[in-house]
Amino acid sequence: MEERIIEEIKSNRTFLIASHVNPDGDAIGSALALAISLKNIGKKVTVFNQDPIPRNLQFLPMSPEIIHEIDRSLTFDVAFVLDCGDLDRVGKEIEKIRKIINIDHHMTNSGFGDLRLVDSQSSSTAELIYAVLKDIPIEITYEIALNIYTAILTDTGAFCNSNTTEGTFHIASEMVRIGVNPANVAEKIYQEMPVPRLKLLGLALNTLEILDNGRIASVVVTLSMLRKTGATPELTEDMINYPRSILGVKVAVLFREVSRNYYKISLRSNKDIDVADIAREFGGGGHPNASGGNMKGSLLEAKGKVFEVVSKRLN
Ligand code: 5GP
Ligand code: MN
């Protein structure tokens, strides 16, 4: 499969690279690593993401060039869709995207697109991009390495999640050999948080609920909390790790109010419980230990339904 993707890269000139709404480090890092690589071999590349780039990822090389709307006059020979389990994860511009190459590592990937490179054993989409670059081959410059390293760092939860393998460290180590400084990246990603994030965290932690004999923990982020603290929704990223960190908790849930009676649900679990399956019941998907979905209804209804499904899985 990789060969056909490489053929498409070699024989075409203009590329669109899209990744998922509410982008994370892997969505942006993979897209920018591929974009810089293609530019370096003389291709014309446009990077699209529907949503704003989280502040702590804006240091990534080429990040300012990401567009958030696709002008109808723009045409592309090929569109890469990265880190998306479903095509609709691209968001509202989806119908403008044709001739799709799907590169992803979600177990729940629906198999969309004309060509696919999908491997759920991969820690991140960036690992797959790395493999493609090696095969073409394209030289991995410092700018590319910085994007790949950041994508791997964030998607493995700083090398803590169960998707971290020997191969992951091998690639990370190569990125460091090329010039990436792990302490500098960690500082950018984890240690330059704006004050509103900590204020929001305080409010979110106040909503902590423990259920099912200590095996389920949940927190809530509402629109009113965002307003009160001046925080933007993407600052909620990783807050679910706090309920997840409690001794005895098997499944952590974060309910984030997106609009009135509409909640984004994030799920995290320890290695014994598959939450990708649970997320599917809420119109979403993801990885066995990190997944997400959505639900219409009041917070009470969302909680009732999610806790019921999770409890059933635990018992
Ligand atoms: P998060 O909880 O951080 O938003 O997402 C965790 C994981 O679940 C990510 O790998 C993300 O791609 C996946 N995910 C989150 N929301 C959705 C969704 O609505 N649909 C699908 N298919 N996957 C999702
Ligand atoms: Mn990913």
Instruction: State pLDDT tens for residues 65-94.
Output: 999 999 999 999 999 999 999 999 999 999
The tokens for 2 are 């990789």
The pTM for the full model equals: 0.95
Where in the chain are the domains? 2-191, 195-314
> Cα(16) to centroid of ligand 1, in Å?
22
> Among the atoms of ligand 1, which is closest to the Cα of residue 238?
3
Q: Which of 57, 89, 258 to mutate to test the pocket of ligand 1 (most atoms within 8 A of CB)?
A: 89
Ion ligand 2, residues whose Cβ is below 5 A away: 26, 83, 124-125, 155
| Per-residue pLDDT, 1 | 62
pLDDT score, position 12? 98
Q: Give, using CA atoms, the residue closest to atom 23 of ligand 1.
A: 285
Query: In this structure, what token pair is assigned to residue 63?
Result: 């990040």
CA of 172 to the centre of ligand 2 (A): 15
At 214 the three-state DSSP class reads coil
pLDDT digits (tens, 9 = 90+) for 9-50: 999 999 999 999 999 999 999 999 999 999 999 999 999 999
Q: What is the mean pLDDT of the chain?
A: 97
- 135: region left, alpha or beta (phi > 0 left; psi from -120 to 50 alpha): alpha
Alpha carbon of 156 to ligand 2 centroid (Å): 9
Please give the angle made by the CA atoms of 9, 40 and 135, to the nearest 5 degrees. 45
Phi, psi of 286 (to 5 degrees): 135, -140
Tell whether ligand 1 has an atom less than 6 A from the beta carbon of residue 85.
yes
Domain 2-191, architecture per CATH: Alpha-Beta Complex (3.90)
CATH of 195-314, one of 3.10.310.30, 3.20.20.10, 3.40.50.720, 3.30.530.20: 3.10.310.30
Question: Is the C-beta atom of 292 inside 6 A of ligand 1?
Answer: yes
Ligand 1 atom with minimal separation from the 267 CA = 2
DSSP helix/strand/coil, 259: strand
Residue 271 pLDDT class (50, 70, 90 cuts): confident
Q: Is 289 in the pocket of ligand 1 (CB under 6 A)?
A: no
- Cα 292 to ligand 1 centre (Å): 4
- Asked if 273 contacts 253 with a C-beta cutoff of 8 angstroms, the reply is no
Check if 291 has its Cβ closer than 6 Å to any atom of ligand 1.
Answer: yes
pLDDT at 3 over 80: yes
Average pLDDT of 159-167? Answer: 94
pLDDT digits (tens, 9 = 90+) for 186-236: 999 999 999 999 999 999 999 999 999 999 999 999 999 999 999 999 999
Tell me the CA–centroid distance for residue 27 and ligand 2, in Å: 6
176: Cβ contacts below 8 Å, ≥ 6 apart: 149, 182
